[in-house]
Amino acid sequence: MSNLLKVHNINDNWQKSLDKSLSLGIYDDLKLNRQLQGVNRLLGRAISHNLSAGIIKGKLGEVTRIVGKKGSVAYVFGLGKKSQLTPEILRAASAGVAKACISDKIESVTFMMPIEAKDKLMSQAAAEGLVLGSYQFEEFKSNNDEAFEMSSASIFGGVEKAVNKGAVIASSVCFARNLENRPGNIATPTHLAKNAENISKASDVKVTVFDRKEFTEMGMGALAGVASGTEEPPKFIIMEYFKGPKSEKPKILVGKGLTFDSGGISIKPAAKMDEMKFDMCGSGVVLGVMRAISILKPKMNVVGIIPSTENMSGDKAYRPGDILTAYNKKTIEVLNTDAEGRLILADALSYACKNYDPEYILDFATLTGAVVVALGHVATGIMGTDPSLIADIKQSSCMTGEKVWEFPLWDEYLDQVKSKIADVKNLGTGGQAGTIAGGAFLKSFVDEGVSWCHFDIAGSAWGDKKLTYQNPGSATGEVIRLVIDLLKI
């Protein structure tokens, strides 16, 4: 059970959809426009009856199931204020329709675009919502009689290209969600590498994977240090897509691929430790974006880099107090083996700076519990070196509804990660400003003058957001859509 919903655009004959099922929107002014009037007539005035009974209010989040005279089904979804309709509202509405169809075991639905909102952005959002909203993670239920998946959806009156693009983007988000939801014994570094290789097959993405021996010899002492506590083979994965002009500098995406974080010798408490299977969600962002790129084939240069290992304890594990030497020869004093994400990213960021001439570097990591304290599960924490890159990221955040909030990287914070006996230490001072301490540490592995932004997705990568296009307790795939918007694919 992991077939994704297929979505396509249609421009005529929506009436045929009444044999199956149809969905259409209503604003909170409750006026019946010609679309609603037409469907109302075909349903034997069933919409009017629901309106006069006060069941349909046109509010956001509302989905009303209406059964017409001949048993045909329509879903009327609320769109709120007519003047305030946004792509995010439509995405949430189409996802709500998908969820209603699944609970009613409806195989296929036609989603009618609102008459006054049929542009590209709206079409893309409607398609994204249908696919994201119908996502379910059922891989490990061996005998699941209750399970039901929708097979297809049509969007009536959208912009075809944008509908197709939205479907590809959302299916890439679902691909990442599948990887992220898989537990640590399945989604190992080898599993991530295999998935990268699958993306490269029959596409223009070139994948290189370095194993423990290779990356250790190359000088990645920080990744090697974290990986020393596990026999599960660690990997350093590189995905290169060079379809832009040779003169164009590559954009580099780095993702934390920590497939299970026990904390190592500085072991975590037992409660919720299972959630540390999600500690590879940063790599999920990179794999999701690269998958979308491999299908949409934009003319640009993008490189994905994933340092991947488990963080385990044992007699081979690295210790608090150890000093590691990263790829750029900087030394790191390890004060807590649970601050391992920044260590494996240190090697990846310095590898990116040395081996490419990046236009910019973005990194994605479930880096700190502190970002959940600061922003909850509502937003991703960002910080970086280039105000104009950050401004573009905030713009893409607005476009996609994936919220970000910027933290400062002032010199005072950079001082807090200086070590007395090595170049830097992997903890800040006194547990203060934990998220910024993580960012400040990473900054010392980004070469001077390189444009870079760090995304701390520890709160947004999974959790309890009450959005119809996400499922509580399940991976969200957040910031994949934001990055695709930023790349202008």
Nearest Cα to Cα of residue 92 among 25, 150, 30, 29:
25
Beta bridge partners of 152: 6, 108
Enumerate residues 6+ apart whose C-beta is below 8 A from 419. 331, 332, 333, 425
Least distance from Zn ion to the Cβ atom of residue 372, Å = 13
Query: Cα separations (Å) of 400 from 91, 92, 169, 373?
Result: 10, 12, 12, 24
**Could you tell which of Mn ion, Zn ion, ligand BES, none binds residue 87, using a CB distance below 5 to 8 A set by kind?**
none
Least distance from Mn ion to the Cβ atom of residue 338, Å = 4
Could you give the CA distance from residue 253 to residue 255 in angstroms, rounded to a whole number?
7
Q: Which of 182, 342, 443, 465 is catalytic?
A: 342
Enumerate residues 6+ apart whose C-beta is below 8 A from 5. 98, 130, 131, 134, 149, 150, 151, 152, 153
Could you give the CA distance from residue 482 to residue 364 in angstroms, rounded to a whole number?
12
Least distance from ligand BES to the Cβ atom of residue 291, Å = 24
Task: Select 128 or 338, whichever has its Cβ closest to ligand BES.
Answer: 338
Residue ranges in 140-184 assigned as alpha helix (H) = 160-181
Backbone angles phi, psi at 112, to 5 degrees: -85, 125
Residue span binding Zn ion (CB under 5 A) among the ranges 18-26, 73-81, 294-302, 333-341: 333-341
Annotated catalytic, 268?
yes
Task: Sort strands 235-242 and 331-333 into parallel, antiparallel or unpaired.
Answer: unpaired
Least distance from Zn ion to the Cβ atom of residue 311, Å = 6
Q: Which of 118, 268, 319, 394 is catalytic?
A: 268
**Could you tell which of Mn ion, Zn ion, ligand BES, none binds residue 250, using a CB distance below 5 to 8 A set by kind?**
none
Under the phi-then-psi rule, with left for phi > 0, alpha for psi from -120 to 50, and beta for the rest, what region is 333? beta
Residue span binding ligand BES (CB under 6 A) among the ranges 160-168, 337-345, 415-423, 470-478: 337-345
Enumerate residues 6+ apart whose C-beta is below 8 A from 488. 298
Annotated catalytic, 213?
no
Could you give the CA distance from residue 454 to residue 258 in angstroms, rounded to a whole number?
16
The residues of the shown chain that bind Mn ion, judged by CB under 5 A, are 261, 338, 340
Least distance from Zn ion to the Cβ atom of residue 436, Å = 17
Residues between 431 and 470 with contacts to ligand BES, criterion CB under 6 A: 434, 458
Find the binder of ligand BES among 86, 198, 331, 336 (CB under 6 A).
Answer: 336
Check residue 261 for interaction with Zn ion (CB under 5 A).
yes
The binding track of 262-291 with respect to ligand BES, each residue x by CB under 6 A or -, is: -----------------x------------
Check residue 310 for interaction with Zn ion (CB under 5 A).
no
CB 446 within 8 A of CB 345: no
Check residue 341 for interaction with Zn ion (CB under 5 A).
yes
Task: Select 121 or 335, whichever has its Cβ closest to ligand BES.
Answer: 335
Check residue 427 for interaction with ligand BES (CB under 6 A).
yes
Find the binder of Zn ion among 240, 279, 310, 402 (CB under 5 A).
Answer: 279
Find the binder of ligand BES among 368, 397, 451, 476 (CB under 6 A).
Answer: 368
Nearest Cα to Cα of residue 343 among 279, 277, 413:
279
Count of Cβ atoms closer than 10 Å to residue 96 Cβ: 23
Task: Select 173 or 258, whichever has its Cβ closest to Zn ion.
Answer: 258
- Element housing 25 (H / E): strand 21-26
Least distance from Mn ion to the Cβ atom of residue 371, Å = 13
Q: How many residues bind ligand BES (CB under 6 A)?
A: 16
Task: Select 358 or 381, whichever has its Cβ closest to ligand BES.
Answer: 381
**Which residues are known catalytic residues?**
268, 342
- Catalog residues that contact ligand BES under the rule CB under 6 A: 261, 279, 336, 338-341, 366-370, 372, 427, 434, 458
- Catalog residues that contact Zn ion under the rule CB under 5 A: 258, 261, 279, 341
